[in-house]
Each structure stands twice: as structure tokens, then as C-alpha cells.
Structure 1
């Protein structure tokens, strides 16, 4: 009696190893089982029977990872203590794979965290480099059956391999389908003498031979998916397909064995060919949409570049070149890897590593993209151009963003599941009926029902509609984190606006100074302090003081929502609200003002008469018809009367709100079952943006990139916000129409299938055509609704 390996499921043969009352095919599988058992991970085997892969002998294979020049090219992040790498693992194939790879920290505490991207078969691992090397990590992965594929020339080849795989399967199925159809011609044309007397059996067995690789190679993914779904207690859309293929193959094989007929090999090979053709079209189209979003829709963020003459200019991040000298202000994100030149760097890498402890850096040390500067202004030299796709990955990292799951996607999954149950029930009832009415039609009816009613078109409607709109909105300079944000956007009923830097523009403002004149030394210290801040008022005031020089600060602190404090030599300066600079009397209380104190003596205030964004009244009047609107600002009520005259009467105003207060206000609205969209500048509003159902950061000419937001809106497109919301609502309408079209198609097809009027091969052709038609409909419809957007 042959025994199978408890870990990988392969036959043990003559090298059977017994351990802990279990059978293993080799010492490698036994070692993996021991690792899991000793680390309390035995429940891995509860997820799927024999889920592992045979560990391969990899001794010496990864010695090249001892070379630091090679590992630097592979690592995403390396600060000397923590390293991050994204590895392609070809063996990832099921939920148990995901489970064990995301629990690496239990196998080895040096692995801080790990995330699996099942679609791309990759795992992103953060690990302590002082406790385990990259080579040791790779060897451990190989030891438990998940050997990574590493190529320096083409590191991310996972998706290409998948594409080639489906092409191979499509080629085999197409070749078999064409030949089976050719061999079926004698029967089609009823060439009785020739067919029956001489070559009948030869042609039938040739058709069988062509169908075997088609079923067991080209169609194997449907069986694997259906099997895994059933083992997990799920009825996925591949269950009825796999059942239909099985019935066709078994019945056709039985017919030629017992000489009952020629079977349905033409229908069988045609079914698999057209199914794969539809899947190939789906993958290629969606890959195109993803490509456009990831690499062409650049975020409209900028960074300050210092030229050789010490002049500062704002450039877009993707214009950064190797060797450029960059100015990074307080709370600003580091866009590229570089070397620290000047300043005290205290960098928060939590967006990258998940570790919240800031890292102190000295001049000459390396800084990594994705870190946030927390201690004043620094200067750095870029080591390479920006990886915009890396910022996209950082922004989309689920670990550092609030889960705002779309209910609509769940609805799609729910429909697919119920639809599958209904299809199986209809197939069983129809077959039972024809078993008594006309047994010769039972097989055709059963298979036709399973094929024609596959809910593929339903499953495609949502991702293609939202994916295409995601791409189009990116071209319109409205950049969304993912497709589910569109669905949330369509549900919004309350819109909250920050004031400074959101409904006001940072580019123009009328600034007046009231108070005791500033000495030149105080003005220099003030400018140097403002230089480190990214707040809109600080940036405007900094430009006003352009004539003064820059002085190196000894200490700098920014108190969010309050102000700035800095020291240089024996002098101290405070900039911010009246309360922050300890000035009780506020003669300019009716205006937005920045107060100044030098060496604990109050000097005066800069009064800002804000310039509001173009089209602001029209935008609010347009939104007022459908939404509750509010202004939520940390400023005083100086311009409340002016705003009340300019904006709709139903707009509510809330001033003097600290960042925590904004967050609590939004939470309070959500507790009233409101779906809230918050629009801010991405700086002091990070908490509010994260709390809201949809957080939108306005980007003008500063680096306001923040993983806390769900969307980034170019400031020049601010007045078109109602059009973007309207487009999202229409997109949901398109999905509903797609559901209706799919339902009509399935009801019509089911009628002909149940009544025995539909041949399986016709059903196999119509099913992928319906999926393709849904994709074409959603693509054209989303293009049409966006064509009107300016």
C-alpha cells in the first residue's frame, strides 16, 4: 500500500520516514513539520490537506546574497536595523500559503511583518537585519517550501509568467479544438459509409487524445479553483464550469469506449478554448488599466530643489535627478533615497516599516524614500530619480491605512455565490425533468445550463467599470488610492472642507504687519524658522521675507495646530496663534493672523486677507443641492461673516478646531450614520482625513503626500469636484445596468438550455462573448460619462 507525505501530499515510495505517527517522503518535509510544530503552527495543516511543497536542496544557490552590492539592488529599504524586501514566490497557490507566509514572525521573531499579494504571488517582508540576513531569510523560506524566484535583470517577472502560462494553455486548447472540429466533419456531413465502415474508431480516439491535454492541462485551473473552494466550504464561479467539463469528458469517453457514439469532444474542447479566451481578454484588459494607473497617473506633488546659486525652486517629484540638492521641511515626506547634507534629521519610517520610533540621522548618512522628517528643515542630495510606483505602493499599503471596505464589492461576491447555488439547482431540476421526458437530452440540458449561466459577466462588471474610471480620473488629476474609493465616493452625503490651504489658495494673499518693527536679526530668525514649516501660512510668510538671509537653527519644534518655536544662539522665537505666543490681547481677532514673539517679548502680528479659490461659490452652490456642507477650520472666526455671504446659507461653520477636534467632529457625524468626505491640505488634517469615509488631500505646490488620504486632488481642478462625485455615482449606475444585462442574458440562455434547444458548444461560445460584451459596455459607458468632464 502506497503512503502519501503528510506535508506535501506526494507518494513516499521507498524513502518513507515516520515521525510523530505521520508519514513523510523526505527529511525536508519532516523538518518543515517539526518547525511548524515547535512554533505552534500545526493548524497550518487544518487549512488544507497536504498543503506544503517539497523543500528543494538550495545549499550554495543563494551565496550571491552575501554580496552587499547585489542585496542593495533587491532591498526596498535598509536603515541598518530594518530591511524590507518584496519576493516573488511562485508556489503561492492557496489560503494556507497566505497563512504561513503572513505568520513568518512566529517561525522566526526576526521577521517583523509580512504581507502576501496573492494575485502577484509576492510577499513583502520586513525583518531585523541585525538578527537575520537576507540570505538566511531566503533559505528559511526555501526550507518550508516557498523558494523565492530572484532575478536582478527582471525582478518582477511574476505577472509575465502568468500571462505566458495562459497563452500556452490557450494555444493547446485552440489547437485541439480546431483538430477535433476537423475530425468531426464526417459526422457533421453524415458521410455514413466512409465514417462507419473504415475510420470511425480511429477518428473518435484521436478526438479523445486531443481532449486529454485540453482538459487536464488547459482546463486544470478550473478544477483546482473549484476543489479549493469546495474544501473551504465556498461555491465559487468555477464549480459549475468544472462540473460541466467533467460531465462532458466522462460522458464522451464512455460513449467511445462502449461504441455508443462519438461523444461531445467538439463541445468540450470548444468550451475550454472560449473560456480561456474570455479569461485572457479579461487579464490583458485589466492589466492595461492597472498599468495606466500605476505609472502614468503621477501624483501632483512637488519638492523644493536648491540650485548651485542657493536659490530655491519648486519642482515635481518625478523631475528629481540624481545629484539634485533637495530641501525637506518639517513633516514633509522624503521622496527619494539620498544622503543627508545639512540639518538634524529625525525620520519617521512608520509608513514604510510600521515601526513608529523615529530614527536620528547625522550628516553623511543615508535617507530612504517614504520617511517623514520630524525635526525642522534638512538638506539632502538625491541618489537616484524618484520611483513613483514606490510611492503608489506606499500609499496603497493596507497596513498603514484605515480599512474602508466597499460594501458594493461584497454585494458582487454575494450575488455570484447565490447565483452559483441557483444554477446548480436549476441544472439538477431540469435534468431530473428530462430524465423522464426525454433521457437523450439530459446530458445536453445539464451541461448547457452549467455553461450558459456562469456568473462571469456579473463578476467582471464591477472591477472593469471602477478600474476604467480610476484610470480616467487619474488623467483628470484626481488620483484615487484604489477602485473601492469610487464606491465610497458615490455614497457620500456630507462634505467637510478645511479652510486654510483648501478653500483658500497658497499662491496669493494680502499680508499686513501690525506691531513693533522686527530687527534684521529677528527677521532672519523668523525666516529660518518659517523655512522649516510646511503650513500654508508659513509658506506665504516665508515668501514675503525673501530678501533676508538664512540662519542655521540650533533647535526647532512644531506644535501641530498651535505654532512654531526655534532657537539660534541665545535668541528664541515663537510663531503661531495668540495663545501660543502668550499674547492675551488680540487686536486682529477678526482676521486670520500669525503672531510673533522674540525672546519672550511680543512683537506683533501678520494679518492675512485670504484669496479664495476660483469658482468657490459656484462649487458650494452646486454641492448644496445634494449634500450637507461644513467648514472645519483651525483658524479664528475672522472671516466667518465674509464666508457666510459668499457660501450657501445651509453651510455650517466651525472655527478654532484643533486637529483632534476635527477628528472628533467627523466621528460624531459618522455616529449619526453620515457618510463623510473630508477635504484638507494633508498636513494638520491627517487624522481627520483618515477618520473620514473618503479623505481627499488638496495638492498645490508642496509635498503634501500622505498615506492617510484616499485621494489626491490637484488644486487646479478643485472647482470640478462635483463632476468627479457625479461620475462616481454614474459608475455605480453602470454596474447596476451591467448586472441587469447579465441577468437578461442568463435568463434567456437558461430558457433555451432548460428546454433542450441549446447545444453545449453554442453555450460555450456565448458565455465568454457575454463577458466580453460586459467589458466593452462598461468601458464605453465610463468613457462617455467622463467625456463631459473638463
Structure 2
């Protein structure tokens, strides 16, 4: 019968049975309807990324009626607030760039969808929508209507998302079986046994080998043909083209040899080639899976949260120690690390971390709080519903909203090499073939195939991601947690380092604190303690620990102005704490020290004087860093400690005092305008703007739950003295990448030189190719660990 392919899904359709619309042929009304939907919404460039990328929509009438049940829907939603719901759906059909494009433009297909993001490796789409304009059921039905039916199973929803694709394992199994048997049946011809039985059965053995080669050629190698065909159709030349071409050439040449009795062919080499290449692909996938596992589940951020004990006392615990039923204390600007129920009377929660919208949402006692919200205002208590998910915190931290747009040097190099690699390889292969064809036909085919196989740039493509992934893992094990691999490259480029003073180069441990002014009575101490309980500022935390335990009181209002101070009210009493400018007192002129001033009910009481305790590793660290970097210290305090710092720090360190948060940001911007590549190290609370402005922003984490989306990395405070080591390690990581590039290119040059001269058989080329990947992975692992252990 005369057949053609459906414009939408690519399936074969029988002539005269097709559905024609807009001068295009479709296999059914479903495919035509999907095209019509895309056409009406100006989304037909879906078909520009890849021909026939769609799937035939299935009849789902009534299938998703259970999504009318709000209780069921709430279990599927990741986030649920008044006008913002977020859901992640597993969609098995996601397979190409067209899928990504259409699924990230769902807002054009359905009103109420705000944004949609595709996670291609996990085949998931994360959809943010307004429940007042649409519903989860409508979204699912819309996805089904365009051929992207999600997998939703209420019993095993999580397991459904983690379905394991074993296709590659099956292909390797088939290839190994056929390769082993073909080798066994080829032995008599290898040893040129000319006895009666081999002469009599030679033809039978050869056709048996031909039969055994078919499953390998057709099934095991099918991925290479599909990839090569898609690449050709899209006008690009990927590395699978020469591999597919090499396999096809070997098969045709071997078949011709058997048919015309020229010899036994190269079926053993072809089966071995496919087996070893698939083995290399499996190794690469397992490598990435290992790094992903390390990243998602072992790189625990050094975030602590305050747990309220049954006796009323409080203690800081690591987030992954939180259990269902625990009671947590959340201060101003702290991240809510888990889903829970609000116990306090009311709260104001900023969900910009999750949604990108910075409008606070008011909550009352009994309402559900979602992980990722940031508490604004007075201290609150909540009860935990689920234990913490570190992978969810990683996802929030890596939200695209907070990513910095920077060029990846290593990726640029890889892209440049890859762009010209395949055309150059094909040119070399055909030139060598036509040269040898006039000398020796057998050698010509061997040379052609060996060139196509040996020059695989898999090792080249793997070197950068594997090196950086391994570096992230090693840094994470040393309590330096980076947002992504790109930060490593940015660290290596840094030439200027800016430090915040309070809470960064000073420690939050108990230090010498003295009080100057009118003596406070017991009631005033109680007011102070309860106000300080809600603040996360380093000075507030130290003063809170310094004041003895007091009876808990309800704070009726609480406002913390970053860089200035706190204004609060308790039982009709007003309390102001902060800088002299905030309280409008000028007592600081005579004694320039770090102070927190106190005003109660409009009457100035006095001030707490802090004798700052600097981190013990500070002098050695700055001395080490000063050899290679421009160093700056920015402080919101007055310059009372300038002389102390001038004695402690290297002479070329720039000290700048009385800096408000916006002035710190402007200062970093001015450095960048002068061509500096700046890293900012701060406490993540007062320095959010400066951290976001800098090329690399690192937040120091002590024992508070300040988790800033603005930072590119979180450094455990105990590792402060190792900053110089981390900077050197980042530079060495980039050196490792470039050395790996060199090894990979050297391997290709040497391999090609042997292949072109006819001294390399296709089977040896097939074995060498995955070995090169193993070599590169082994090299970067050894070098990464060597530099990590280097003192």
C-alpha cells in the first residue's frame, strides 16, 4: 500500500485514510486537533525544532475526574497558597527540544498558568498556576489533549516519577550474547583450519554468524541510527552520525563478503564495537547518576533551626534532625525548612523563594506553612508535618530566578570543538577511504570504519561536567556548598575579595559585652530578651545569649530595619534597639566602639558595648589571600576598630566603615565597573544585595537558619580559615579540565594517526573508545583528589 507519515506524530498512515487539514496529512483527528490548537495559539514553531515530534492524544474521558477532589489535589501539589499553586508532573513522552519548548509555553495554551519549567533528565514539568483561573484537572486534560499525558498514581506517585528505563541494559545484554557467540563461531576461520568439516560447513557457519549479527545491528545499535537521523533532519551534525555510518558500512561490507564468498566479513568486529560503545555509554550514565546522588542527598547545607524543647528551652539543631511533631521557633528573615502548622497567633510569610513574588502572605494560627517561605516580623512557633527534604531546599536554592547570567568558558571551548569535530571527522574518513580504495579494498573499509569509531569525542564532552561534579562533591564533604558547577569556574576567575565585618570576620561566640548607661530593671531585661528573641542579626544573637533567661512574653509588633535596628511593642511598651543614628542619640562620638543602643518607651537607657572577637584564623587567612587578591572589608559599624584591624590585616587591605546595605552593593558595583572580578563573603542577611551583585556571593553560616537565594555558596563558619585553600582548589579544578581536554585531543590525534595508516582494526578502535572515557574519568578523579589533599 502507498503510505506516508503523519505531520504531527510521524506514524505511518494509509493513503485515502488520512485526515487533511491546512494542506497537511494526519493519521487521525486527534493529531489534527493538536496541530489546530498549536496553530490557533501561534505555537506552530513546535514543529521547527524537530519533524513529527508529537504523540497521538489518547481518549481520557472521565479518567481524571478524581482531580475534582480537593483533598486528593492537595496531596499532589508542592505548594498551595491563595493565588499560587505549584505542581510537578511526570510526563513520559518528553523526548526532544520540541517537547521542552511547548511545555515551557503552556501559559499560551491555558489562561491561569503562570510559568512552566521542564526538567528534561527526569521528564518532569513544574507548573505554577492561579487556582482562581484554572485547576489541576483542566491543566492535566489540556496536557492530554496535546499528547503529553502525565503519569499520576495516588498509591505510588513518588515511585511513578522514578521509573527506571532498562532499555540500555537489554541492548547491552543482546549485544554481549551475539558478540560472544559470533566470536566463538569465527574461531575456525581465525585459525584458518582447512580440514574437511570446516570446508563443508563454512557457508553454514557464516550465515549463522550473519543471523546472530542482526539483533545487534537492528536492536542494540538502534539508538545511534535514531539519533543520527534526528540530527540530520534538524540540520546539525552530532557525534552519533559517524558512529552510525561506521556500523552500517561494516554491516553492508560484511554482508557483501559473505554473499560473494569474499571472506567471513567483520560481523565479530561490528558486534564487539556496538557492545563496547554501549558499555561506555552505561559507564557515563552511571557516572552522572553517582554525582547527582552525591549532590542531592549528601551535600547537607549547614543550616540550623531552633527547636523548642518540651521544657520550654530552645536549642539549635541541624535541619535534617527535624522530625514530624517537633516544635520549631522561626525568627525574622529565617527560612521555613519544612511544611508545618502555625501555632502562633499570626505570621507574615514571604514566598518569593518559591514563587518569585515578594508579596508577604498573612497567616493565622492553624494555617499550613510551606517549606521555602521566609518569616517576616516577630518570632513565630510552628509544628512540623514532614521531615526536611534536602533535595527540595537544593531545588529552591537553584531556582532560575536567582541565577547569574555568566559565560561558561569550558562549555564555550567544548561547543567550539564539537561544532567542527564531526564535519572534520567525516571529511577525513572519506578522504582516507578514497585514498586506500585504489591500494587495497579491505584496508580501505577498515580504515574508514576505524576512523569513524576511534575519534569519538565522548571523553571530551565528559571531562568538564565530571571534573566540576567531582569538585562539588569534594567541597561539599568539606562543608563548602556551591549552588552549581558554574560557581567553581567563577571562583577561579576572582581577583578581588570583599568581606563583611560583623558575623563574617567576627565570630558570634560569646564575647566581652559591657553595658553603659542607666541601670535596667528586671522588667526591662525581660522586654529586651523577648525582643531580641525574634532577630537574626549577629549582634542580636550575641546579646540574646548574653542576657540571662527570662519569662516569655507576647511581642505584639516587631519591625527589623536591615542595617539600622529593631522597633517592637510588648504589652503597651515600645522598645527600640540599634545604631545611634536609628535612635537619634549622639553618644557614640566620644567612644567609637560597636554598640547596640537601647530605648524603652521613648526614654534612652544606654548601650551595650561589644568588644569584637575576630576569628582566630583571620590574620593567617588574610596574609595568605593578600599574595594573590585585592582585599576589602566593608562594615556597617563606625570606624572605632580601624586601628585594631590595621594592625591585624595586611597593609594593602582596604577598610570601609559606616556602609549601609545599599552602599555595600554600590561599592561592589564600582569595583566591577573598574574591571574587577569580585567575590563577596557575608552573613547572608544584611548583605543579600551585595551578594547578588558580586560575581560570586558566599554566605557564612554559623548556627542560624539564614538561607539566602542571593548567594552562590554556603560556607560553614568552622571552615572560614580554609577560604584560601578553596580558592586555590577552584583554580586547580580548571587546570584539571584543560589538562583533560589536552589528553582527550592527544588520544584522538594518536588514534587517528594509526587509523589513517591502516594499522588500527575497527574492533580495537571500539575497545579503545570507552577506555578513553574511563581514562579521562580516572584522571580527573585522581587529580581532583590530589589537589584536595594537597596542603
Contact 1:401 1:690 in 2 (8 A): no
Give the counterpart of 1:718 among 697, 717, 720: 720
More displaced, 475-484 or 71-80? 71-80
Aligned to 1:734: 736
Contact 2:510 2:546 in 1 (8 A): no
Partner of 1:385: helix, strand, or coil? Answer: coil
More displaced, 462-471 or 248-257? 248-257
Aligned to 1:692: 694
Partner of 1:304: helix, strand, or coil? Answer: strand
1:313-349 per-residue CA deviation (whole Å, 9 max, x = no partner) reads: 1111111111111111111100000011114311111
Aligned to 1:770: 772
Per-residue deviation, 1:526:
2.5
**1:465-480 to 2 correspondences below 5 Å:** 465-480=467-482
Contact 1:344 1:377 in 2 (8 A): no
Aligned to 2:438: 436
Aligned to 1:545: 547
CA distance in 1, matches of 2:738, 2:397: 30
Give the counterpart of 2:643 among 641, 664, 672: 641
TM-score by length of 2: 0.96
More displaced, 319-328 or 554-563? 554-563
Give the counterpart of 1:153 among 156, 162, 168: 156
More displaced, 710-719 or 340-349? 340-349
CA distance in 2, matches of 1:147, 1:447: 42
Per-residue deviation, 1:192:
4.4
**1:531-680 to 2 correspondences below 5 Å:** 531-587=533-589, 589-680=591-682
Aligned to 2:528: 526
Structure-2 change in CA distance of 1:405 and 1:364 (3 Å)? farther
**1:285-434 to 2 correspondences below 5 Å:** 285-434=287-436
1:188-228 per-residue CA deviation (whole Å, 9 max, x = no partner) reads: 12234658754444433333333333233222222333333
Aligned to 1:217: 219
Partner of 1:342: helix, strand, or coil? Answer: coil
Partner of 2:576: helix, strand, or coil? Answer: strand
Give the counterpart of 1:508 among 479, 504, 510: 510
Aligned to 1:493: 495
Contact 1:344 1:376 in 2 (8 A): no
- Root-mean-square deviation (CA, aligned residues, Å) is 2.0
**Unaligned 5+ runs, structure 2:** none
Q: How many residue pairs get matched? A: 788
Per-residue deviation, 1:588:
5.6
Per-residue deviation, 1:585:
4.2
TM-score by length of 1: 0.96
Structure-2 change in CA distance of 1:375 and 1:752 (3 Å)? same
Structure-2 change in CA distance of 1:475 and 1:753 (3 Å)? same
Aligned to 1:5: 6
CA distance in 2, matches of 1:485, 1:522: 47
CA distance in 2, matches of 1:75, 1:549: 40
CA distance in 1, matches of 2:589, 2:45: 69
Structure-2 change in CA distance of 1:690 and 1:271 (3 Å)? same
CA distance in 2, matches of 1:169, 1:367: 47
Contact 1:588 1:607 in 2 (8 A): no
CA distance in 1, matches of 2:197, 2:689: 77
CA distance in 2, matches of 1:563, 1:247: 76
CA distance in 1, matches of 2:487, 2:619: 26
Contact 1:420 1:454 in 2 (8 A): no
CA distance in 2, matches of 1:192, 1:666: 83
CA distance in 2, matches of 1:159, 1:257: 47
Contact 1:493 1:674 in 2 (8 A): yes
Aligned to 2:187: 185
Per-residue deviation, 1:788:
3.8
CA distance in 1, matches of 2:675, 2:230: 38
Contact 2:554 2:571 in 1 (8 A): no
Per-residue deviation, 1:47:
1.7
Structure-2 change in CA distance of 1:532 and 1:395 (3 Å)? same
Per-residue deviation, 1:387:
1.1
Structure-2 change in CA distance of 1:232 and 1:24 (3 Å)? closer
Structure-2 change in CA distance of 1:74 and 1:653 (3 Å)? same
1:97-131 per-residue CA deviation (whole Å, 9 max, x = no partner) reads: 10000001111122211111112222111122333
Partner of 1:610: helix, strand, or coil? Answer: coil
CA distance in 1, matches of 2:337, 2:368: 13
